[in-house]
């Protein structure tokens, strides 16, 4: 029997017709926070239960081999590689983004001995700034933190490494990976990209840009679950020359020799440190399968359709209430979330949450709405704008309950 395939407006098969159904969406919830914590893929419920009951409970220590726990960092990494334009062997999934950033920034500065400066974006995600500062302290380097637009003019023969986020976490602005990478190389520096708001939302091509290092999160658009392992990328041409600072036994060439001397594994595997969190990593790996069969161009097109529709509706319906679009209007510069600014943004987000519309708030007045191409829809975009409009008309944001500040938003 022929199965009728859903077709998009352009006549091409619609790969997204069934991807939304593969996620658990709580009743009544409209979710626009996939850039912070992705929805749960339904399949991981049974998968996690199997890993716990069969692999851990029954298989016990044998599962390191029989369930192939050993190679999970490499296998999950290979799945992420396709989404970021890397070779499967150049990516491993492990540790947190912050820890991975430390490992790769140290490796980068060690590959450029004698150079005394790290250049970074002054508006980067704070953890990136903290880590870069500590690397500089340890190695006696100077950090030049400037707005992204001024990074290139600060490149010179003293710069060891440039650390930059591809998609800005507040504005969703995309920085030109090719231009920044080439400019860094012209100055003789290496570049480290943070892809936390990229992978799964915005395609990129690390290999085509000749990027040196990258890190990113597993729990945002990759839907790996809260605190999911992160990943890191090291260009093949550098990997065997790298000395990463967290040399643990899982990055050893032969961990089960229990040798007193450290001998790093070949390639990116040397960036592993200690025993990985098998359950979390296995869940991430299974969640990544949801990207199977989704062409990256289609992912990008879908993301742009959602963010474009949102911006158009905001201009038409919400600008009169004082909302300002704080994300780039040019499609080529816009990631997969859109930020709005409004003086009452905090209260509006709380009022939205009470109606089960979930986005998030970033200081001082950014309202962020993530549009995950695998599960968000055009209908939801319209409902979101209508809800904000209604909250403004009723001055719902002004209720005392919605003005109460909490630590997490
Ligand atoms: C989310 C995010 C992080 C988070 O790092 P963790 O170590 O996972 O807490 C780091 N950098 C950027 C740019 C992010 O967006």
Q: Ligand 1 centroid to 322 CA: how many Å?
A: 30
pLDDT of residue 283: 98
Residue with tokens 């710069």: 159
Q: Is the pLDDT of residue 1 over 50?
A: no
Nearest-CA residue for ligand 1 atom 14 is 196
Of the listed ranges 12-26, 30-44, 49-63, the least confidently predicted one is 12-26
Facing residues of 191 across strands? 162
pLDDT of residue 81: 98
* Ligand 1 atom closest to Cα of residue 100: 7
* Ligand 1 atom closest to Cα of residue 197: 15
Of the listed ranges 6-10, 243-247, 368-372, the least confidently predicted one is 6-10
Instruction: Measure the CA dihedral 14/18/23/29, to 10°.
Output: 80
Separation CA 180–CA 152 (nearest Å): 7
Q: Is 125 a catalytic residue?
A: yes
The pick from 169, 199, 220 for probing ligand 1's pocket by mutation, whose C-beta has the most ligand atoms within 8 angstroms, reads 169
pLDDT of residue 17: 86
Q: Is the pLDDT of residue 348 over 80?
A: yes
pLDDT of residue 404: 85
Higher pLDDT pick, 114 / 10: 114
Q: Is the pLDDT of residue 11 over 60?
A: no
pLDDT of residue 194: 98
Q: Across residues 342-358, what is the average pLDDT?
A: 97
Q: Is the pLDDT of residue 398 over 60?
A: yes
pLDDT of residue 3: 45
* Ligand 1 atom closest to Cα of residue 96: 7
Separation CA 239–CA 101 (nearest Å): 15
| Alpha helices, DSSP H, located in 59-187 | 63-66, 72-84, 97-110, 126-139, 177-186
pLDDT of residue 405: 82
Q: What is the pTM of this model?
A: 0.96
Of the listed ranges 9-23, 168-182, 287-301, the least confidently predicted one is 9-23
Peptide bond into 176 cis (omega under 30): no
Q: Across residues 37-62, what is the average pLDDT?
A: 98
Instruction: Decide if 354 contacts 387 (C-beta within 8 A).
Output: no
Cα Rg of the chain (Å, integer)? 22
Q: Is 220 a catalytic residue?
A: yes
Q: Which residues line ligand 1 (CB under 6 A)?
A: 96-98, 125, 127-128, 165, 169, 194, 196-197, 217, 230
| Alpha helices, DSSP H, located in 259-344 | 278-288, 296-313
| Domain 48-291, CATH | 3.40.640.10
Q: Ligand 1 centroid to 195 CA: how many Å?
A: 9
Banded pLDDT at 9 (limits 50, 70, 90)? low
Dmax over CA atoms of the chain, in Å, equals 69
Banded pLDDT at 46 (limits 50, 70, 90)? very high
Domain residue limits, the chain:
20-31+295-403, 48-291
Q: From the candidates 30, 79, 115, 220, which is the catalytic residue?
A: 220
**What are the structure tokens assigned to 27, written together?**
């009743």
Q: Is the pLDDT of residue 2 over 50?
A: no
Per-residue pLDDT reduced to its tens digit, 87-102: 999 999 999 999 999 9
**What are the structure tokens assigned to 79, written together?**
């799945």
Residues 6+ apart with CB under 8 A from 300: 202, 203, 373
Separation CA 106–CA 138 (nearest Å): 9
Q: Is the pLDDT of residue 329 over 60?
A: yes
Q: How many CA atoms lie within 13 A of 399 on its CB side?
A: 13
pLDDT of residue 363: 86
pLDDT of residue 399: 94
pLDDT of residue 407: 67
Q: Which CATH class is domain 20-31+295-403?
A: alpha beta
Q: Which residues are annotated as a binding site for pyridoxal 5'-phosphate?
A: 97-98, 125-128, 165, 194, 197, 219, 249, 275
Per-residue pLDDT reduced to its tens digit, 191-233: 999 999 999 999 999 999 999 999 999 999 999 999 999 999 9
């Amino acid at each position: 029997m022929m199965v009728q395939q859903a077709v998009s407006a352009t006549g091409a098969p619609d790969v997204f017709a069934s991807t939304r159904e593969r996620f658990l969406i709580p009743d009544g919830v409209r979710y626009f926070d996939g850039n912070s914590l992705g929805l749960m893929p339904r399949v991981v419920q049974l998968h996690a239960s199997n890993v716990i009951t069969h692999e851990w409970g029954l298989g016990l220590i044998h599962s390191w081999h029989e369930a192939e726990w050993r190679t999970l960092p490499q296998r999950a990494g290979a799945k992420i590689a396709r989404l970021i334009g890397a070779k499967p062997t150049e990516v491993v999934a492990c540790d947190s983004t912050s820890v991975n950033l430390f490992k790769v920034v140290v490796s980068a500065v060690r590959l450029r001995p004698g150079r005394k400066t790290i250049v970074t974006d002054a508006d980067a995600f704070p953890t990136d700034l903290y880590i870069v500062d500590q690397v500089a302290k340890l190695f006696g380097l100077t950090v030049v933190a400037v707005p992204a637009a001024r990074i290139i003019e600060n490149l010179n023969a003293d710069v060891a490494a440039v650390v930059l986020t591809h998609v800005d976490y507040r504005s969703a602005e995309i920085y030109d990976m090719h231009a920044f990478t080439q400019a860094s190389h012209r100055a003789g520096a290496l570049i480290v990209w943070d892809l936390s708001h990229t992978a799964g939302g915005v395609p990129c091509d690390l290999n085509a840009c000749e990027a040196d290092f990258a890190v990113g999160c597993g729990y945002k658009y990759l839907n790996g679950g809260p605190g999911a392992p992160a990943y890191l990328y090291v260009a093949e041409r550098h990997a065997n020359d790298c000395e990463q600072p967290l040399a643990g036994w899982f990055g050893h060439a032969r961990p089960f020799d229990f040798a007193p001397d450290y001998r790093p594994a070949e390639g990116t595997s040397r960036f592993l440190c200690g025993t990985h969190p098998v359950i979390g990593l296995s869940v991430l790996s299974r969640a990544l399968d949801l990207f199977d069969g989704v062409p990256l161009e289609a992912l990008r097109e879908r993301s742009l359709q959602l963010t474009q529709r949102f911006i158009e509706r905001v201009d038409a319906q919400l600008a009169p209430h004082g909302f300002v679009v704080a994300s780039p209007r040019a499609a080529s510069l816009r990631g997969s979330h859109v930020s709005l600014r409004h003086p009452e943004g905090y209260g509006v987000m709380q009022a939205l949450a009470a109606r089960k519309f979930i986005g998030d708030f970033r200081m001082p007045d950014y309202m962020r709405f993530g549009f995950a191409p695998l599960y968000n829809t055009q209908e939801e975009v319209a409902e979101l704008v209508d809800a904000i409009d209604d909250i403004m008309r009723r001055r719902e944001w002004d209720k005392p309950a919605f003005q109460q500040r909490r630590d997490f938003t």
